Chains A and B, each alone.
Chain A
Amino acid sequence: DAKTTQPPSMDCAEGRAANLPCNHSTISGNEYVYWYRQIHSQGPQYIIHGLKNNETNEMASLIITEDRKSSTLILPHATLRDTAVYYCIVRDNTGGFKTIFGAGTRLFVKA
């Protein structure tokens, strides 16, 4: 599975959009981009995933560049409860099962 690079931490004002970047320059054609988050010391929670098109659900939007070498997770109106560690993962959906987590980005949402 491809490796990802994320900034270690970011700040965001409450009510503003939080844009979390992820670089995955070695991603291969059949690998998807997944985002999870971990609030405090709970188990990680799935947010969204995509292959090459932009995706949106009730939690967030995922923007993947045309060359697929990077992506951005967007939380449109961040709240204090969005303070968490966000993990960007790339994974092959067709075969391998291993899901490898990196260090993630610690997002602080401030009032």
Chain B
Amino acid sequence: NAGVTQTPKFQVLKTGQSMTLQCAQDMNHEYMSWYRQDPGMGLRLIHYSVGAGITDQGEVPNGYNVSRSTTEDFPLRLLSAAPSQTSVYFCASRAGSGNEQFFGPGTRLTVL
């Protein structure tokens, strides 16, 4: 198993540009989530999904959209990037409500 994969590893955007961060898992996990981590801080939950077709907001959802059309994929969309969205983004998945989360390696995003 590849586990949780994220692409790209690094990305630089200009203010106002849009992009999609990709996340995929091959463990058939129901639950997937997106976090952001700013320098020297803990992780903050952006959006999460409890299954295909079901998504919900986390702590800091503004400026981000998600969809979950398949069990495997959970892309995160930035519609109009802002410098405040400069951060490291982590995707995670887990099998069920009582299990551990598996994290991807992260995407480092810089918005100029």
Contact = CB atoms under 8 A, between A and B. Distances in A.
Please name the 8 residue pairs, one residue from A and one from B, whose CB atoms are nearest each other, closest first: A43-B103, A46-B100, A93-B98, A101-B43, A101-B42, A103-B42, A44-B103, A43-B90
B13 interface: no
Interface in A69-111: 85, 87, 92-104
Interface of B: 4, 31, 33, 35, 41-45, 48, 50, 58-59, 88, 90, 92, 97-98, 100-106
Chain A interface size, as a band, is 20 to 34
A46 B102 CA distance: 7
Given A101-B42, A102-B42, A103-B42, A95 B105 contact: no
Given A99-B33, A101-B42, 16 more contacts: A36-B101, A43-B90, A43-B92, A43-B104, A44-B43, A44-B90, A45-B103, A46-B100, A46-B101, A49-B100, A97-B97, A98-B58, A99-B92, A100-B45, A101-B44, A103-B42
A101 B100 CA distance: 14
Contacts of A104: 42
9 contacts: A41-B106, A87-B42, A93-B97, A94-B98, A99-B45, A99-B92, A99-B101, A101-B43, A103-B41
A58 to B, nearest CB: 14
Contacts of A32: 98
A41 to B, nearest CB: 7
Contact of B59 (A49, A85, A100): A100
A44 B92 CA distance: 9
A106 to B, nearest CB: 9
Contacts of B103: 43-45
Contacts of B48: 97-98
A92 B105 CA distance: 26
Interface string A1-19: 0000000000000000000
Contact of B88 (A41, A46, A49, A95): A41
